[in-house]
Amino acid sequence: MSTDGVFKATPTERAWLQEFTHEMGACRLEGSAVERHYVDAVRTSLASNGLLHRLRIACQQNLSTDREAMGYLLVDQMLPDPQNESQFTRAATILASLLGSPFHMSRKQALWEIIAVDFSKQPYRFGGVGHNPLHIDGVNTTHPPDCLILLCRRDDPAGGGGSLVSNLQQAVEELEETDRGYLQQAIFEEGEFYDLEGVGREYRPFPVLSRFPDGIWRVRVTGKMLPGMPSCPAKDVLERLQAILEKNQVVLQLRPGQALVVNQLLNAHGRLPLGEGQERIPSSERRDFRQGFVRPDKGSFIPPYRHIEPLPLSFNMAG
């Protein structure tokens, strides 16, 4: 079984997903989450035919919240042709329903949020063309998503935009003890909180580091705090943490049809700059990704982390 962060589906496994995608109707949302009976139907069908046992084991080995796990899994040759967006995202929803309970964070977005090239965005922001620094999503919420899924419909024809992952637990251990202590202060702020659901309440200010009873660190890191931040002790410590993460980062150049699953307790993620000449690439040919989230639960392929209390996915800022 795979323990190197890559799962390559067999033709039989891929065929099952494609056939089942045709059988299943489109899902609907309950609050921020895919309706429960849809998730249960996917898992019941799988249990009846015994397929995808290899995927379950790969998720347990690579995505469990355990210091020994890679904390990410690249799923290859599982999803159908990404040019048929409807079939591609429906198959991805079935896959996500096996991994956990799929949901979205923003009321303004579909279940699978589009990550397209947007020249109006700051280069380091979501959809920008520059270096997207290592971070976790939902950094300023009480319940950041446990896991995110990135879907590649089209990679950058200019050769850039590699996805980044970096081990958060390793980075914390490499910090000086004084830096770890400083980052446990609730003095940090980043981002806005609006039209979000499924992630609890706004958390502002927040500590970058907090520790669970088993020693696993919650690391609310985002390099997006650094641009424009005035010189101060907080910036110095954040820069040292970011430098460690960048030193240890792994670059994954996703290809069309591949999916990257990231456990946000174990890994930060980001993106290298897109290749030069983006303005000369027709919009229909530029890099095109989708992003969604899952929370592991009872019966999911990714084991739920015992120290995070389950949050109803319909829970939002209004409670």
pLDDT digits (tens, 9 = 90+) for 147-193: 999 999 999 999 999 999 999 999 999 999 999 999 999 999 887 78
Residues contacting residue 65 through CB under 8 Å, at least 6 positions apart: 216, 263, 265, 266, 303, 305
Model confidence over 98-152: pLDDT tens digits? 999 999 998 888 899 999 898 888 777 778 898 999 999 999 999 999 999 999 9
Angle between helices 85-99 and 53-63 (to 10 degrees): 70
Which residue is listed with tokens 């469990």?
64
CA distance 293 to 149: 6
Q: Which two tokens stand for residue 62?
A: 């690579």
- Amino acid at site 201: R
| pTM of the shown model | 0.93
Residue among 217, 167, 203, 198 nearest 293 (CA) = 198
Which residue is listed with tokens 């919240």?
65
Distances (CA, A) of 98 to 16, 38, 89, 245, 246: 13, 11, 14, 30, 31
Domains and CATH numbers, the chain: 6-295 (3.60.130.10)
